A and B are shown apart, each in its own frame.
Chain A
């Protein structure tokens, strides 16, 4: 008894501090470091510009084209409504500053300075100047973490805009993704625009992604093309976060997310993403 007492007198504080440290680390781990990211953002706040810079490339010609797109989009919307093809209208976009990159070098993630307080939800689509770049995988009250398309663990169903050849892209590094086709002989050539396809369950269809850089039709098991992302993924400063109608209608966290329906192994693909999203924010049903 006396020996235990003496040991405790000598090491009690140390044991207590150790337990405190383990408990603290465990809490931080279970909350996916949300406290850390909140602290990080508040420290960085004085250095973050308040308003997004005015678009430098928006000249008269671009504005004209943008207006044409809006016109065509609304026409398209009307025609789809006539056909009974109902698509939920997406809510307002949020412009967010990029405040950090991934905390290690094996992952391609960014941290942005807007969170659930500004209406960002898990599954929201993030796009940069030029095209879609990723989706939100974790939100805290005022920051969110974005898994970029260029990360090797993210797969997106895509389509070649010109020929409608289907496939999916997987990230490679910095600014390149590799597109694998479902067809053996796809109609594709360098310079084609690639957009998200209707089969993707994580992204709404028709978002521009990038431009085909080179094609390798002899690649087995499926032909491949290297796609250069149109958004400058490696030096983003501002991004646009838009709500994801698919995430809302599918209830992203309750169903296993198969990203590409026609892909036989897609169940596992989705499960990986599912596991990630699930461990980050256990939804109400889990």
Chain B
């Protein structure tokens, strides 16, 4: 199997790598509307796209992280509502994750990933809540939550989603990280 892929044309290999990446995004998207038993806390589940963005950005540049966050955020917008957008929050998560000097803090990879995901989930929900607050301040005529409602709800969502996302983070991070580093190992000798 390994030798087979080694003999492939670099383009074909790159295509395969991208296909697997796209499929993993698709899997994350399709799991979003489900509410599987045992995956919920206060009727809030893990934020799969956020885990994916963190897994992607951890070993990449800030630009790549922002781009991935933007694209995945737009996909989540497509599945809910275009306003407020998830693209901003996920893009910021991508940039922050890429800028983090994570080797400096915790050696163990899984634990540091779980911690990053925990922090980023709080950041992402806060940015969404800020957008909701902005909408309710600038357009008070629209039916929406009041500011107090937004921020009490934010506490509930941010905490549950952070806990669950950080617990489920290895389920996405581990296979994807293995795959990407495997693909990387082929790129090195050829270049």
Contact = CB atoms under 8 A, between A and B. Distances in A.
Contacts of A17: 14, 18
B95 to A, nearest CB: 17
B141 A104 contact: no
A217 B88 CA distance: 41
A80 B145 CA distance: 39
Nearest to B143: A155
A105 B143 contact: no
Identify whether the interface residues of B are mostly helix, strand, loop, or mixed.
Answer: helix
Nearest to B78: A33
Interface in B1-60: 11, 14, 18, 22, 26, 29-30, 32-35, 43-45, 47
Nearest to B152: A173
Interface in B127-148: 128, 132, 139, 141-145
A259 B139 CA distance: 17
Please tell me the size bucket of the interface on A.
Answer: 35 or more
A163 B161 CA distance: 43
A33 B75 contact: yes
B61 interface: no
10 contacts: A22-B71, A25-B75, A28-B74, A29-B74, A31-B78, A102-B33, A104-B76, A105-B157, A152-B144, A152-B145
Interface of A: 13-14, 17-18, 21-22, 25-26, 28-29, 31-33, 36-37, 39-40, 43, 99-107, 109, 111, 152-155, 170, 172-174, 234, 265, 267-269, 271-272, 275-276, 279
